[in-house]
Amino acid sequence: MSSFEPAEYGPVFEPLVAIDRCRSLGAGRPDPTLRKSLQHATLATAFGDAHLIDLDMARCCLAGIWLLHDFLNESHAISQQIETSSGSFWHGVMHRREGDFSNAKYWFRQVGHHAVLDELGPQITVLASSDDAAGMQLVAPGGKFDPYAMVDACQTAVRGGDDALCRRVQQLEWELLFDHCYRRALGR
């Protein structure tokens, strides 16, 4: 199981990610008092004085940080401009959270192969308790994460089903994708 350490992401990102990352499956409620802090997280400031190797991956981190704080429109405005697998991944997660499930699936088709998809399946298997076995098999059949099944599971949960496993998987998904993008942005 991966461990997500907020301090690894520098002084601008750290306070923004050192929160409860187990977010709503839906749009959530953005906290307007955080808008200034989020606006301060730019390509010029968020990565400190580190040399950015991949600007698209750095932009993905910005899309992710807005999404984490439930600012879906701001996240969408960034991710839709990133024509990479990771940009499509953030775009798909954002549409899933806004409840546009068919559009989320479209964007997950655009993702294609992605290292985070490969990491998710085995980690979900570890994450799921015996109580979650059926749900885990739904979103990660045979230990392989299925983003379309995750969209369907979230849709069911949002419409009144049990959302505990989906929320934990979504948190893991966010953490792995953010870490992946951050490291690639810096060439690590």
Rounded to the nearest 5 percent, the helix, strand and coil shares of the chain are 70, 0, 30
Alpha-carbon gap, residue 142 to 93, rounded angstroms: 22
Given a cut of 80, is residue 5 above it in pLDDT?
yes
Tokens for 155? 């849709």
Tell me: the pLDDT tens digits for 40-65? Answer: 999 999 999 899 999 999 999 999 99
Q: What is the pLDDT of residue 137?
A: 75
pLDDT the model gives residue 142: 84
Nearest CA to 59 out of 35, 74, 76, 79 is that of 79
The pLDDT mean for the chain works out to 93
Cα dist from 123 to 34, 53, 105, 183, whole Å: 31, 28, 22, 19
Predicted confidence at residue 164, as pLDDT, reads 87
pLDDT in tens, 103-158: 999 999 999 999 999 999 888 877 765 556 677 778 888 889 999 999 999 999 99
Entry pTM = 0.95
